[in-house]
Structure 1
Amino acid sequence: MKIHQLELFIGNYEETVAFYQDTMGFTCRKNGEGSTDIEAGSGTVTFHKKSGVDCYYHFALNIPANLFDSAKAYMAERVTLAREDDEDEVFFNESKARSFYFLDPAGNIVELIAREGVNPDSHAGSFSPSEVLGISEIGISSEEVYRCSQEVMAKGIPLRNDRPLSNGETLNFMGEVGDGAFIIIARAGRRWMFSDKPGLPAPTIVKTDRGTMTFHHSG
């Protein structure tokens, strides 16, 4: 599975767009009043202004494996990196990946991940946002994890490594390892790593090469 676009609905819209464009240096395109695309390699993260909501999301962007340290230094100059167990990065043994995290002004938990053997190396000498490869993950918090995961499977998206579906005891990583892109179905209330934020159901539109999926606020 490839994730082409995420559509996320946030309350702190203007400050968040300015953060990605002016502070972080991402290329941004306005779609009109209250909607902006953030270029993320082969994918697009679209923020929609939605007043009166307190939605936040976890999403991840793939970066070249050989630019992890450069990317971390680049981001650390512009934002405080999040910490977990007094560490500001993590290595995932199962996926052979290194990640670091930060929070944006909307409260989104943003991860940059370098997947060994999946994310290609870059010929660039250092990281800039133009080196982002694409969208790696979107977290979906649901009160009905099993049903939500089955709906994703109905689009032809398997559980990682063809494992049996969890009913919320563990995370369901929906997608193929070789594509380096996953829809993560989590139990509502489960804390997202590198934050103190419980996952909450939030309106989310995910456009993939298997079709478009809409996840509603009710979870």
Structure 2
Amino acid sequence: MKFLEIKLFTHCLKEQRNFYHQVLGLPLVKNDDQSFGVAVGSTLLSFRSGNEKSYYHFAFTVPNNAFSESKNWISSYVPLNTVEGSNEIYFKNWDAHACYFYDPAGNVVELIARHTIDHFIDHPFTSRDILAISEIGMPVKDVREAAGQLRAALNTGTYHGENETFAPLGNEDGLLIVSDDSRNWLGSNKAAKIFPMEIVLDSPAAASQLDGYPYKFSSKKASASG
């Protein structure tokens, strides 16, 4: 499962556009008075203006050997969040290193190097080296029920474990992080709250909407960015 586009809402469109395009240097793919989109590797990250102070959790995959460099890169622009007193974490069961930060809207953004992915760079890291968005958080009231719906609708499986409050669905290329809305997002002090989003998948199967939630899915076979 790959994410071609992640469509989110923000109460501070101008600040978000400046941060992702001007500060981080991500290519601006589309832009108008009410929305914009930047290329995050092969994924288009889109924000539309909204009145609600919505926030989300999503993860940018960086090359296998670029975690330290990418961490230094992002920390030159924003403070890193801490997890149990450290500004990075190693997920043993996923064989991945990650760090977290907030963007201007308060989204919990993660940089993750998945050591199971065979992608390396031999030059200094820049934002153009980000591979894709590989995670999007999906808070729900009942993880087991929602995960079951999504597995059937998207023809996908669970990635390395599931419990009553957490279910990662998909694979290293794309994970729906189904989380109980009583949890905080890891690497933050923010509750996993429910806000509208749309996910465009590179997949022949996609649900139109998860029952009872403002989460829409669509599907197409195309490159999301240049």
Which residue matches 2:178? 185
Question: 1:27-106, aligned counterparts within 5 Å?
Answer: 27-51=27-51, 53-106=52-105
- 1:148 corresponds, among 146, 149, 152, to 146
Kindly provide the CA deviation profile for residues 47-75 of structure 1, in whole angstroms up to 9, marking residues without a partner as x.
11112x02100000110011111111111
In structure 2, give the amino acid aligned to 1:9: F
Percent identity, aligned pairs only?
29
Aligned counterpart, 1:132: 130
Aligned mates of 1:170, 1:144 — CA distance in 2 = 8
Superposition pairs of residues 192-207 of structure 1, within 5 angstroms: 192-207=185-200
1:136 is displaced (CA, Å) by: 1.0
CA contact (8 A) 1:119 1:180 kept: no
In the TM superposition, what is the alpha-carbon distance from 1:31 to its structure 2 partner? 3.8
Contact 1:66 1:122 in 2 (8 A): yes
User: Who is 1:116 aligned against?
Assistant: 115
Structure 2 unaligned spans of 5+: 216-226
Contact map agreement 1:62 1:119 (CA 8 A) in 2: no
Give the residue type in structure 1 aligned to 2:196.
P
- Structure-2 separation of matches of 1:23 and 1:116: 27
Give the conservation status (yes or no) of the 8 Å contact 2:54–2:195. yes
Question: Hey, what's the Cα distance between the residues in 1 that align with 2:118 and 2:18?
Answer: 28
CA distance in 2, matches of 1:119, 1:103: 28
Of 166, 170, 173, the residue aligned with 1:171 is 166
Deviates more, 1:6-15 or 1:96-105: 6-15
Equivalent pair of 1:64/1:114 in contact (CA under 8 Å): yes
For residues 20-79 of structure 1, what are the alpha-carbon distances to aligned partners after superposition, in whole Å with 9 as ceiling and x for unaligned?
A: 11221111233422111111111111111112x021000001100111111111111111
- Partners of 2:139 and 2:180 within 8 A in 1: yes
Taking a change above 3 Å as real, the CA distance of residues 78 and 43 of structure 1, as seen in their structure-2 partners, is same
* Cα drift, residue 101 of structure 1: 0.8
| Further displaced range: 73-82 or 140-149 | 140-149
Partner of 1:12: 12
How many residues of Structure 1 are paired with residues of Structure 2 in the alignment? Answer: 211
Cα deviation for residue 126 of structure 1 reads: 1.1
Where 2:79 maps in the other structure, the secondary structure is coil
State the SS of the aligned residue for 1:175: strand
Q: CA deviation at 1:16?
A: 1.2
Between the aligned partners of 1:87 and 1:187, the Cα distance in structure 2 is 24
User: Which residue identity is paired with 1:7?
Assistant: K
Measured in 2, the distance between the counterparts of 1:119 and 1:152 equals 28
Where do 5+ consecutive residues of structure 1 fail to align? Answer: none
2:220 aligns with none
Paired amino acid for 2:144: Y
d(CA) in 1 for partners of 2:157 and 2:45? 23
